[in-house]
Structure 1
Amino acid sequence: MNTQTADPLLGSLVDGRYRIRGRVARGGMATVYTAVDERLERTVALKIIHPAQVRDAAGQAFSLDRFTDEAKTIARLTHPNVVAVYDQGTHAGLPYLVMEYVRGRTLRDILAERRRLSPVEALALMEQVLSALGAAHRAGLVHRDVKPENVLVAEAPSGGGQNLVDAVAKVADFGLARAVEASADDPSGGQLMATVAYVAPELVTDGHADPRSDVYSAGIVLFEMLTGRVPYDGERPVEVAWQHVDRDVPPPSRIVAGLPPVLDELVASATRRSPGARPTDAGALLSAVQAARESVTQNTNAATQLLRPVAQDTVVVNHVVPSERPSWARLPGAQPAPRSRRRSAAPAAPVGLLEQLKQRYQRTMADPRGRLALISGAVVLALLVLTGGWWLGWGRYEVTPQLMNLTQEQAEATLRAAGLQVVYGDPQFREDVPKDVVLVQDPPPGERVLRGGAVRLILSKGAERYLVPDVSGKTWDLALTDLQAEPFKFKVVKAGERYDDLIPKNTVLDTDPKAGTEVPPGTEIKVIVSKGRAPLTVPFLEGKSLAEATKTLQEMGLRVVVERVQSDKPYDVVVKQDPPNGTGVEKNAAVTLQVSDNQSLRAMPEVRNARCGDAEGLLASMGLQVEVRGVLGDKNWFKVVNQDPQPNTPVQQGQHVIIDCQLG
């Protein structure tokens, strides 16, 4: 079933320029569409933030100003291995980014198909990923979510089939990155959770990220490309995340035998648990990857030379020239290896040096003025040592004040009074602590901190609540996807079905709680879906007699409920019906008929084909003056062939009516 048909954005025109043609992917924060820029006549990718992520400014996580600032920063990041950003704006209140459309597959799709890559292919793709990340790091950006899903791979123009050495890789989703300066200085920045399979240890322990966090994630991606799996797994995401903190990444050769040792060293260097032990940024790791690729390529070529049979006229060349690299991946000119230097032996102390020092000390102590100068110098030196020791050990520190359970304003005022700065970590949800109250401080109360230094605070976000999204009109599958998307933590159940004349089958009619209701995580969302149109259709009954309408409904298997109402219509004539005609209903459903109770005005009944005597009796019982024509003898031998007035014509008591009879 194609769930895209229910997407209201398909076919719409954004900003009078971008015509949405199809949906590419949907994530927890945004949906990516393909669109045509009708002004420039080119295909682009349009990324639109989900409505649930766009909250009011009263303490919510999303900031349109931050989104705009980041879009401008990313647009300035021009690199052949970075998915370019062309434009940004809002559509129907939803922020969007217009990006380069890459015709290819994600690295995740390739790994799902091939499981793992050859070392040369893995290193070739990793060089391009690190080249993109290096450009971002130089611009002050940290990606924070490097994973195969965010690496797009396009086949080289020359083709190449399954060989990815010449493929082009582009890093996407820099739209969720934050500037390094902003992540450290802006307390209102939204929380960005990296994928747990690739998350750096420092993001798990304290939420801090810098270029070395991207280096760690890139190392995990390289591990997966070489082995076909990630290093850690677990039943819950939190278990996987903490394994990055507690365990070292195993060597790839432990999973895939025969991998060169240089690859084990490369993965180990990039995935050190301590950020300080890793390469400083993606550019530093890129140099190591390029060197490793040269080594692996040369070893591969050398092995090929050994296996190739030597013909009679073949000349064996020991030196193998590696394949030419693109300009963005060329290594700098080879530098000669530094010569090992031996430390030269220290020159021998001059003969008699100790004796000369001894003699000078004796001359100084023999002179009173020299002795006083020496003692004064020793006292000054002792004072300097004591003062320096006090300053280094105690004087340059302040005692961290108690900030726990204070509001943000109170904590900032307390730190200003103590001459200290404040930095903020990512806020956390707490049911029992109001919003903007201090949950954690580092250093703790009473610990020492450098004068003028910073105290790191983590504030409460208050009780964790989410707005139930509006999924009415969507198919059950698409509604389930929306309700289970991040950051929602709902329990979604299909609570029931009911017939609906207008809504197609398996389409959401309503939810309980209603859309827009603020609920805590774990809330059960009951979804009511349509069963489509009911099997029976209510006929048009207004203007018919009660007897005729009742007979029609009962033959259909429907129940009749009669309500008498005052009306100018004849007695026993149906004035109104509920449900109206054309409505779909189930068998044994009740149909309410409002019937006229006007005793003075009745509808002329249908008496044709009835025995003349019976017809005369019926009409007389209604208070009508009946004239019978054509009867000679017993009236029961005759039947009615015509009547005046015609059936259903209003008649009053005492009105003259005629029935024509003939033998039969």
Structure 2
Amino acid sequence: MSHSGYGHIDSLPMDIQVADSLLGTLVDGRYRIRGRVARGGMATVYTATDERLERTVALKIIHPAQARDPQFLERFTDEAKTIARLTHPNVVAVYDQGHHAGLPYLVMEYVRGNTLRDVLAQRRRLNPGESLAILEQMLAAISAAHRAGLVHRDVKPENVLVAEAPSGGAGNLVDSVVKVADFGLARAVEASATDADGGQLMATVAYVAPELVTDGRADPRSDVYSAGIVLFEMLTGRVPYDGAQPVEVAWQHVDRDVPAPSSLVPGIPPVVDELVARATRRDPQARPTDAGAFLSEVQATRDDLGSANANTALLRQVSARTVTIPRVPAEPERPTWARLPGQAEPAPAGRRRAPEPAYDDYDDDRGGGSRIGDRYRMVMSHPRGRMAVAAAIVVIGLVAAISGWWWGMGRYTVAPQLAAMDKAAAEAQATRGGFAIAYGPGQFDEKAAKDVVLRQDPPAAGRILKGGTITLVLSLGAERYTVPDVVGMTLDLATSELEQTKLQITKGADRYDDNLPKGVVVAVDPAVGTETKPGDKVTVFVSKGKAPLTVPRVVGKSINDARAELINLGLEPLIAYKQSDRPRDEVIKQTPNDGAGVEKGAKIELEVSEGPPQVTVPRLIGLPCPQAVQQLQGMNLVPNPQVNPNGTVFAQQPNENTPVPPGSQVVIYCS
């Protein structure tokens, strides 16, 4: 099941960010959440396994901001019960409803397929046959809701799911199964917002009915208008109005008529233009009364298109002398979901009227051949008749030649070269040539910068209608992902988060950690936030919990005492001496710090003081005793003169060039 939007990251204890704490949760003892599909404005959608019935379901949990109002919870529960009773093949079924952690949730049918928005992103626009086939199934679902007293209020491509056809045929949208989602949910939120805020426009502005903009009311005709806008977008590849602000778009629905689709895409049949016009009239009274009435008009339009195609084929079978009138193929029998209540069943094949026989222009039994022959001889027997016939043949030939030239060549030109240009330059070039621009899904490219045109359709110098649309594929730049913050997650959640960024996961050796419990990720390599390419390897390290031994504090102790204490604990001291003002052999630093957890046999690095820097005793012999005393004091040594303090130094202890600690005593002998 596809929905628009993305998830968020919840806040957990210890300031650790995780992808989604609900992943793996068992809701109501029954629904095991397996993955997050998308996050929208009102709710987050998950895939879950119904462990009781062993089936995959979609679980939609309403956001906390929507569920704070007790009146909202009551309305939501009532709406869920109403939607659950809405059983129809084109409606996404609601199986269950409840509350988890104070938040209301819905359990819905899981549809394997894409939203109509995804289909339009891939195909840009659809042909009239595909568009009407999808619209029929949409209206069949909405008309069932209207009969049950429900108004959808938010009909848009994001709420229309296009699943694979039951026959398994791929690529044929006419045979696909279409389902409509989110019936009634907007109504509960809208009511809550109206109470709290004095009124709020809930519908998406691109598809909003004028009456919702002007006075906030909605009825089945509002859904008809939105469905008409969706049909316009399927046919043209765009919505009718755009603007810088949502309010500007909303008021264009009030002030302007929706243009005819054929004004943007030449070749759309007039009956389809008329269908869009009837559904999108600004006056609700002028629209079909509900989705059922609109469905009837859509089915009639499909019948008209089928008849027109059959008549075109019929005219091509007119021969030179024999007119054969074949049986016109009937429209394929519609399944029961596509017929309105009370609509007649198609007649059995055996009761259809047989085709009229072919008549020969010269069938003398009917007399037609004689009359035609007489008229032909009469006209050709007169000179003016022969001239008129010749002139008619020339005119017909000229018309045919001009028409053939126009349809075959005259209305076409060549597409300009836009590839390798940046987006702004390509748009300017296309505008100068009178072309419109559309954009296909962007693609990553290692060489092209972001927003540079990678490809165009049609290609440069290719044939294109004058004023036609050129589809551009822009570069998304080099595909890069940053390593997400998975520290603190369980290994399963971390693996899921990393795989979403297209990284390959390898598991490193488990390690002890004093802060993180056993079984959660303690580190990744490369580090969190590192930019990576798709397929790069990331090594994940998992915590074994707190280590069994605690490192004692040995800073300030002598090296002998510290070594003995560590060895007794089964730890291995690694000693390195370093100059310091602390006394020699005193431990001044340890790594890891005291209190850290380690395993038995772990290495503990110790920095040990070498003591203060030493001073070299100078030569004092021969100096006057007072001068020798002054020199020693200047070197932070303590002089001790002996015999005659005023004499001359004849001996010293320690001897010259002996290194001693600062403040050491030097004895000088004077005579």
Question: In the alignment, which residue of structure 2 is the partner of 1:543?
Answer: 554
Q: CA deviation at 1:284?
A: 1.2
Q: CA deviation at 1:53?
A: 2.7
Secondary structure at 2:333 match in 1? coil
Secondary structure at 1:256 match in 2? coil
Question: In the alignment, which residue of structure 1 is the partner of 2:62?
Answer: 49
Q: CA deviation at 1:301?
A: 3.0
Question: In the alignment, which residue of structure 2 is the partner of 1:220?
Answer: 229
Q: CA deviation at 1:303?
A: 2.9
**Which residue of 245, 248, 263 maps to 2:272?**
263
- State how far apart, in whole Å, the 1-side matches of 2:189 and 2:36 are: 32
Q: CA deviation at 1:54?
A: 2.5
- State how far apart, in whole Å, the 1-side matches of 2:338 and 2:589 are: 86
**Which residue of 168, 176, 183 maps to 1:174?**
183
Letter in 2 for 1:235: A
Is 1:300 the counterpart of 2:309 in the alignment? yes
- State how far apart, in whole Å, the 1-side matches of 2:28 and 2:114 are: 28
- State how far apart, in whole Å, the 1-side matches of 2:53 and 2:345 are: 45
Secondary structure at 2:277 match in 1? helix
* Alpha-carbon spacing, 1:502–1:290, altered in 2? closer, same or farther (3 Å): same
Give deviations 1:362-413, integer Å, cap 9, x for gaps. Answer: xxxxxxxxxxxxxxxxxxxxxxxxxxxxxxxxxxxxxxxxxxxxxxxxxxxx
Kept in 2, the 8 Å contact 1:120–1:297? The answer is: no
- State how far apart, in whole Å, the 2-side matches of 1:271 and 1:265 are: 10
- State how far apart, in whole Å, the 2-side matches of 1:151 and 1:179 are: 20
- State how far apart, in whole Å, the 2-side matches of 1:71 and 1:148 are: 22
Q: CA deviation at 1:191?
A: 4.5
Q: CA deviation at 1:104?
A: 1.3
Normalising by structure 2, what TM-score? 0.51
Give deviations 1:581-630, integer Å, cap 9, x for gaps. Answer: 479xxxxxxxxx9x9xxxxxxx9x999xxxxxxxxxxxxxxxxxxxxxxx
Question: In the alignment, which residue of structure 2 is the partner of 1:110?
Answer: 119
Letter in 1 for 2:21: P
Secondary structure at 1:97 match in 2? strand
Question: In the alignment, which residue of structure 2 is the partner of 1:248?
Answer: 257
Question: In the alignment, which residue of structure 2 is the partner of 1:207?
Answer: 216
- State how far apart, in whole Å, the 2-side matches of 1:49 and 1:311 are: 70
- State how far apart, in whole Å, the 2-side matches of 1:184 and 1:21 are: 32
- State how far apart, in whole Å, the 2-side matches of 1:184 and 1:7 are: 27
Is 1:290 the counterpart of 2:302 in the alignment? no
**Which residue of 27, 31, 35 maps to 1:14?**
27
Question: In the alignment, which residue of structure 1 is the partner of 2:43?
Answer: 30
- State how far apart, in whole Å, the 2-side matches of 1:103 and 1:237 are: 32
Letter in 2 for 1:543: V
Give deviations 1:287-320, integer Å, cap 9, x for gaps. Answer: 1111111111222233344457989999641533
Q: CA deviation at 1:145?
A: 0.7
Letter in 2 for 1:170: K
- State how far apart, in whole Å, the 1-side matches of 2:61 and 2:339 are: 37
* Alpha-carbon spacing, 1:110–1:280, altered in 2? closer, same or farther (3 Å): same
Letter in 2 for 1:32: V
Kept in 2, the 8 Å contact 1:176–1:192? The answer is: no
**Which residue of 127, 131, 134 maps to 1:122?**
131
Q: CA deviation at 1:329?
A: 2.0
Give deviations 1:26-61, integer Å, cap 9, x for gaps. Answer: 10111111111111111111101123333254xxxx
Q: CA deviation at 1:285?
A: 0.8
- State how far apart, in whole Å, the 1-side matches of 2:589 and 2:203 are: 68
Question: In the alignment, which residue of structure 2 is the partner of 1:40?
Answer: 53
Structure 1: gaps spanning 5 or more residues: 336-470, 480-498, 508-531, 534-538, 565-569, 584-592, 596-602, 608-664
Is 1:83 the counterpart of 2:96 in the alignment? no
* Alpha-carbon spacing, 1:290–1:32, altered in 2? closer, same or farther (3 Å): same
Letter in 1 for 2:173: L
Kept in 1, the 8 Å contact 2:162–2:179? The answer is: yes
Secondary structure at 1:63 match in 2? helix
Letter in 2 for 1:289: V
Normalising by structure 1, what TM-score? 0.51
Question: In the alignment, which residue of structure 2 is the partner of 1:323?
Answer: 332
Q: CA deviation at 1:181?
A: 13
Question: In the alignment, which residue of structure 2 is the partner of 1:136?
Answer: 145
- State how far apart, in whole Å, the 2-side matches of 1:334 and 1:260 are: 28
Secondary structure at 2:173 match in 1? coil
Is 1:94 the counterpart of 2:106 in the alignment? no
Question: In the alignment, which residue of structure 1 is the partner of 2:392?
Answer: none
Kept in 2, the 8 Å contact 1:180–1:210? The answer is: no
Q: CA deviation at 1:100?
A: 0.8
* Alpha-carbon spacing, 1:155–1:575, altered in 2? closer, same or farther (3 Å): closer
Letter in 2 for 1:213: S
Kept in 2, the 8 Å contact 1:142–1:177? The answer is: no
Q: CA deviation at 1:14?
A: 0.8
Letter in 1 for 2:270: P
Question: In the alignment, which residue of structure 2 is the partner of 1:280?
Answer: 289
Give the percent of matched residue pairs that are identical in Structure 1 and Structure 2.
66
Question: In the alignment, which residue of structure 2 is the partner of 1:399?
Answer: none
- State how far apart, in whole Å, the 2-side matches of 1:46 and 1:152 are: 16
Secondary structure at 1:165 match in 2? helix
Kept in 2, the 8 Å contact 1:151–1:172? The answer is: yes
* Alpha-carbon spacing, 1:333–1:262, altered in 2? closer, same or farther (3 Å): same
Letter in 2 for 1:126: L
Kept in 1, the 8 Å contact 2:46–2:58? The answer is: yes
Question: In the alignment, which residue of structure 2 is the partner of 1:164?
Answer: 173
Letter in 1 for 2:33: I
Secondary structure at 1:25 match in 2? strand
Letter in 2 for 1:80: P
Kept in 1, the 8 Å contact 2:487–2:522? The answer is: no
Letter in 2 for 1:143: H
Secondary structure at 2:37 match in 1? strand
Q: CA deviation at 1:158?
A: 1.2
Give deviations 1:199-245, integer Å, cap 9, x for gaps. Answer: 11121222211111111100000001111111111222222111111
Q: CA deviation at 1:554?
A: 13
* Alpha-carbon spacing, 1:221–1:553, altered in 2? closer, same or farther (3 Å): farther
- State how far apart, in whole Å, the 1-side matches of 2:48 and 2:154 are: 25
Q: CA deviation at 1:128?
A: 0.9
* Alpha-carbon spacing, 1:238–1:16, altered in 2? closer, same or farther (3 Å): same
Kept in 1, the 8 Å contact 2:194–2:200? The answer is: no
Structure 2: gaps spanning 5 or more residues: 1-5, 10-17, 347-485, 498-514, 530-540, 543-549, 563-572, 599-605, 612-671
Question: In the alignment, which residue of structure 2 is the partner of 1:237?
Answer: 246
Give deviations 1:435-475, integer Å, cap 9, x for gaps. Answer: xxxxxxxxxxxxxxxxxxxxxxxxxxxxxxxxxxxx99799
Kept in 2, the 8 Å contact 1:102–1:154? The answer is: yes
* Alpha-carbon spacing, 1:553–1:89, altered in 2? closer, same or farther (3 Å): farther
Q: CA deviation at 1:573?
A: 7.4
- Equivalent pairs counted in the alignment come to 397
Q: CA deviation at 1:150?
A: 0.3
